[in-house]
């Protein structure tokens, strides 16, 4: 009787396959895990956060370089000019016109 109830190897493999397929289907239906990096233990947290830190550092360095670079001459309006003195010079010119 015991021999009859015991599943064969093939039946066990088939049952395992069905079980795996079902698990796989369930896994596929799950949303990607949301990992809160700050709650991971130190080594994992460090590894997980280092990518973001590196990216932000890179962006900050590039932004700093862009800020420190002088403006190209082509884009600078009234570069190196004392604007108020120029406005005054225009006034002086008008009041000195000889042939209105």
Partner 1 sequence: MNQHGTMKNTEKLNKRDRLINTLIVIAVIGGVLAVRYLPPAIAYWRSSEVYKRYSRVEGVRATYIKDFPLNDTLTVAVTLFEATDSAGWSYLLNAFNEPEEVRDVVEESTVKNKVWIRLAPKGHPEEKVSNDGQGENKEGKKWSYDALLKSYDMRTICVFDMKSMEQYMALFEYGVDIMLDKGEINYN
What is the CA 26 to chain-centroid distance, rounded? Answer: 31
Is 87 strand, coil or helix?
helix
What the block records as the tokens of 80 is 């190196």
Contact map string, positions 11 to 50, toward partner 1, x by CB under 8 A: ---------xx-xx--xx-x-xx-x---------------
The reply on whether position 76 binds partner 1 by CB under 8 A is: yes
In the bound complex, what is the minimum distance in angstroms from residue 7's beta carbon to partner 1? 21
Contacts with 48 (C-beta within 8 Å, 6 or more apart), sequence order: 35, 37, 40
Please state the φ and ψ torsions of residue 45, each to the nearest 5 degrees. -60, -45
User: Which positions touch partner 1 (CB under 8 A)?
Assistant: 20-21, 23-24, 27-28, 30, 32-33, 35, 51-52, 55-56, 58-60, 62-63, 66-67, 71, 73-78, 80-81, 83, 86-87, 89-100
């Amino acid at each position: 009787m015991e021999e009859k109830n015991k599943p064969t190897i093939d039946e066990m493999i088939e049952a395992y396959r069905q079980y795996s397929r079902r698990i796989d289907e369930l896994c596929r239906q799950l949303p990607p895990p949301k990992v809160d990096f700050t709650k991971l233990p130190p080594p994992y947290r460090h590894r997980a956060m280092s990518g973001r830190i590196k990216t932000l550092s890179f962006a900050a360095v590039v932004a700093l370089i862009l800020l420190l670079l002088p403006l190209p001459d082509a884009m600078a309006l009234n570069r190196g000019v004392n604007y108020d003195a120029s406005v005054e010079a225009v006034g002086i010119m008008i009041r000195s016109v000889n042939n209105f």
